[in-house]
Structure formats: C-alpha cells, structure tokens
C-alpha cells in the first residue's frame, strides 16, 4: 500500500511538473521580442518617422525644431545614439512601415484607437486632446450643434483617424456625412483652405486648432466632437523592451520642467505665429537663410545639392556673415585668408565672395579624392573632413584604416575612427600618420553634424 501511494504521488508530481513546463514553454511565443532596442544600440542610430508641420517637426533658420522632434532627440540622447528622421504625411502608411521594420518609432501625435492597438504598441500618453469641427467664421451661419452637420461634406487629411472617427459619428447619429480625404495636403494646408473659404469644413485635434487660430484669424473651432482622448507615440507590435525603455524615460521626462515648457512653446504660445510670419518658414516659401540665392548659384557651379552647401554654412557660421574664429577664419564659410589667396582669390569677405571661395575650395578638395573608389556619399564625407581638418589628415586616416584591416574607402566605422582618435599618441605617432596630431573629434562631429542637418533640409526643404 505504501509503495502504491509513493508511485501514485510520484506520477502526480511528474504530471504537474510536465504541465508547468508546458505552460512555461508556451509563454515566450505569445509576443515574441524582435530585439529592437538591442539593434538600435548596436547600430548607434534611432530611426524615427514623424510628421512635418509647425508643431511636430520643421526647420527654422536652418535649425530643426518641433515638439516631437525636441522630445525624440532627447530620447536618442538618453539612449546614447544618433537620431535619424524621416517624414511621412500619411499616418497609416507610417504605422505599416513601422511594423515592417523601416522605423523603430513613430513620433507624432497619434490618436490611441482600438484598431491601432491590435497592430502596434502605444507609449504612455504624451497628453490628451479632443476633436473639433473647424469652420470659417465669416460664413452665414456657424454650425453650433453636431446634429446640424447632417448631410454636410467634411474634408480631412488622408491617412489619419479622422475619417474613421467621422464614419462612426455619422452612423451613430445618422448624420449621412460625406467624408472626403484630401491627398498631398498637410492639415495646415487644409486649415488654410478653410480660412480662405476654399473648403467648408474639416476636423482636427483641438490643441492644433488652438495654435492655428493664432495666425488664421477667421477659423472657428468651438464645436467639440469628442471627449478627451490620449495622444501617444508608437513602436511595432512585437517590441516590448524598447517600449519599456520609452515609457520609463517618458514618465521621468513628464515630471521635469522641460516637458511643459516644450508643450507650451509649440501648442500654447505665440511662437508659432511669429514662425508663420517669418521668411524662414518652409511651408511658406522653402527658405533656409537669406543667402539662399547665392548658395543655390554656387552649389550649381560645383555640382552639389544646395541644401548640402547650406548645411556646411550653418555648421561653419550659423549663417552669420560676420563670424570669425580664433584661428583667423572669416565669414559664412569660415574661409582662411591664406587659403583664399593660395586659390587665387583676393576677395573673400563679402557673403557672395565668401561662399564662392568656400564652394570652390570644397570642389578643389573633392577632386583630390577622385582617384579613390568612393561612392558619392563617402566622397562628400571625405571632402567635408578635409575642409575641416585638411586633406593631409584625411589621407593619414585612410592609410591607418587600411593598415588596421579597415576599408580606406568607407567613412563610417572605418576611416572616421582614425580621424576621431588622431589626437591619441598611439595614432598620431604612427609612421603612417605623416601629418601628426589632429583634433579629430572636432572633425568627426563636423562631418556628422553636416550630414544630419542635410538630412533635415532634404526632409523639409524642396530641392
């Protein structure tokens, strides 16, 4: 009897153990982790999709700004990685590409909906807002009640949740709404058309309508169509560790003074009003600086994208024609007098002359690398490094890279390493380092900053 009892207990124990083991094995397969956070840390870059407008992300006087841009830049700094920004006006397309792995994060004002939750993971809410009807104040009779919308046509931006929201509203209240999605227009373009009475009605988030009303004086947004709803960012549906890291950072950020300052700057102050009145605002006329006509002319002469040349000038002088350095460099492109004279130019002070000499020198340096097997982007990076540090130091870094088994024709993670650490004795005292010491960290940052700003300009400024 004792033996039977022991056998029975043993059998029950093994059955329980087997059952527990089965449950443990099934857990990881519920939501597999794709290692996004680890990939970001390994590549050293956070790939983000955002939306181009005066609240999310834009370029002003050559500098990237925006509520979501400033926040996500802070998060990239928190992770210790670089930030790469792409823009997409179609929100649904952005979310699809997020799940396909093109982006690590979509950082824009996303409405948290049940349908989206089934496909993606939302962060903790950034803030809450509600949807409002926007109409022109000058029309004969303003719509004051939602039931007065019966049979009306409402225009909304393509790829947003406004269409599905209005469908539900129309069905629940039997409003028989006609909902028209507008392609290729931002919500600011649509609001402007309502302001000009070119479109009758649109729907937008209230906080956006509030800021738009500061410079569009004829729009009315008094009719609220929904309760307060959370607004958040998104990561792909199978990303958990990145989401945890984001939420931890975000909750800490929301407790700081910086968060309300950023929100008030882009959603509540007259900052955006002054922006729309500025010649530097892209959605008006695509201006980076007051020197754009000269930059475009000189860039065409050397076969460069004018936005790349503009990013060099911003890095060198911040578009200040009076800028001087401790080493004697002057003007927008920080031209050294002796370099200008060696190239055969006596005039280099005035903006037009300064940009001409600087652009000519860039092309002069670029030709030095023509004999090497460089693709177009690497050739640009090598040229920029030579503009900052001198061609001799770049050639040193190429020789060093090859001797250490790196690719001498690739900048990132190859030649840039030896430029960056050319201030170390073991590097600059190497026999292959014929030009000796170099403050390579400055050159490394110089190239990276220019390419980063060039990316912003390409995102936001027409060619």
**Closest C-alpha among 165, 168, 169, 130 to residue 146:** 169
Q: What angle do CA 310, 316, 318 make, to 5 degrees?
A: 70
Residues in CB range of 439: below 8 A, 6 or more apart? 389, 423
From residue 264, alpha-carbon distances to 125, 187, 211, 252, 269 in Å are 17, 20, 10, 18, 6
- Residue 3, both tokens: 């033996």
Residue matched to tokens 């919500």: 187
For residue 240, what are the β-bridge partners? none
Residues in CB range of 12: below 8 A, 6 or more apart? none
Residues in CB range of 210: below 8 A, 6 or more apart? 221, 267, 268
Backbone angles phi, psi at 238, to 5 degrees: -110, 20
Strands in 100-254 per DSSP E: 105-111, 120-122, 127-129, 131-136, 153-157, 178-182, 201-205, 219-224, 229-236
Residues in CB range of 125: below 8 A, 6 or more apart? 112, 230, 231, 232
DSSP string computed for 267-295: HTSSHHHHHHTSTT-HHHH--S-TTHHHH
Backbone angles phi, psi at 425, to 5 degrees: -55, -40
Q: Is 316 a catalytic residue?
A: yes
Instruction: List the catalytic residue out of 188, 298, 316, 366.
Output: 316
Separation CA 34–CA 359 (nearest Å): 45
What is the SS3 assignment for 239?
coil
- Residue 363, both tokens: 């092309």
Q: How many CA atoms, within 13 angstroms, populate the side-chain half-sphere of residue 153?
A: 8
Backbone angles phi, psi at 65, to 5 degrees: -145, 180
Q: Quick check: 317 and 323 in contact, CB under 8 A? A: yes
Separation CA 255–CA 20 (nearest Å): 42
Active-site residue numbers? Answer: 316
């Amino acid at each position: 009897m004792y033996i039977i009892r022991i056998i029975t207990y043993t059998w029950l124990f093994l059955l329980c153990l087997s059952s527990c083991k089965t449950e443990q094995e099934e857990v990881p397969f519920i939501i597999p982790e794709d290692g996004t956070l680890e990939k970001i840390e390994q590549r050293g870059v956070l790939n983000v999709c955002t939306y181009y407008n005066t609240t999310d992300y834009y370029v002003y006087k050559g500098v990237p700004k925006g509520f979501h841009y400033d926040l996500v830049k802070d998060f990239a700094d928190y992770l210790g990685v670089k930030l790469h920004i792409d823009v997409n006006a179609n929100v649904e397309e952005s979310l699809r590409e997020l799940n396909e792995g093109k982006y690590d994060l979509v950082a824009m004002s996303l409405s948290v909906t049940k349908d989206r939750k089934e496909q993606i993971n939302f962060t903790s809410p950034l803030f809450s807002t509600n949807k409002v009807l926007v109409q022109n104040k000058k029309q004969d009779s303003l719509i004051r009640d939602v039931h007065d919308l019966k049979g009306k046509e409402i225009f909304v931006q393509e790829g947003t949740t406004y269409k599905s929201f209005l469908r539900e509203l129309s069905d629940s209240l039997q409003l028989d709404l006609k909902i028209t999605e507008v392609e290729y227009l931002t919500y600011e373009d649509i609001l402007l058309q309502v302001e000009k009475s070119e479109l009758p009605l649109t729907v937008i988030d209230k906080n956006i309508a509030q800021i738009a009303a500061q410079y569009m004086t004829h729009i009315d947004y008094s009719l609220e169509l929904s309760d307060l709803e959370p607004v958040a960012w998104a990561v792909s549906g199978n990303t958990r560790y990145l989401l945890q890291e984001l939420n931890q950072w975000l909750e800490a950020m929301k407790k700081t003074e910086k968060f309300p300052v950023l929100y008030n700057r882009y959603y509540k102050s007259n900052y955006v009003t002054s922006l729309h009145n500025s010649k530097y605002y892209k959605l008006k006329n695509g201006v980076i600086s007051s020197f754009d006509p000269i930059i475009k002319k000189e860039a065409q002469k050397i076969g460069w994208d004018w936005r790349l040349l503009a990013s060099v000038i911003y890095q060198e002088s911040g578009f200040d024609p009076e800028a001087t350095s401790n080493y004697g460099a002057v003007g927008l492109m920080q031209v050294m007098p002796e370099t200008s004279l060696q190239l055969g130019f006596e005039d280099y002070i005035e903006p037009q002359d300064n940009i001409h000499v600087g652009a000519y020198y860039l092309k002069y340096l670029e030709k030095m690398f023509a004999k090497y097997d460089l693709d177009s982007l690497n050739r640009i990076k090598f040229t920029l490094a030579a503009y900052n540090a001198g061609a001799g130091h770049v050639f040193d870094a190429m020789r060093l890279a090859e001797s250490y088994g790196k690719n001498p024709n690739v900048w990132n993670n190859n030649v840039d390493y030896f430029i960056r650490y050319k201030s170390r004795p073991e590097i600059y005292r190497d026999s292959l380092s014929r030009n000796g010491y170099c403050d390579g960290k400055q050159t490394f940052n110089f190239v990276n900053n220019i390419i980063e700003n060039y990316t912003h300009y390409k995102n936001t400024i027409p060619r």
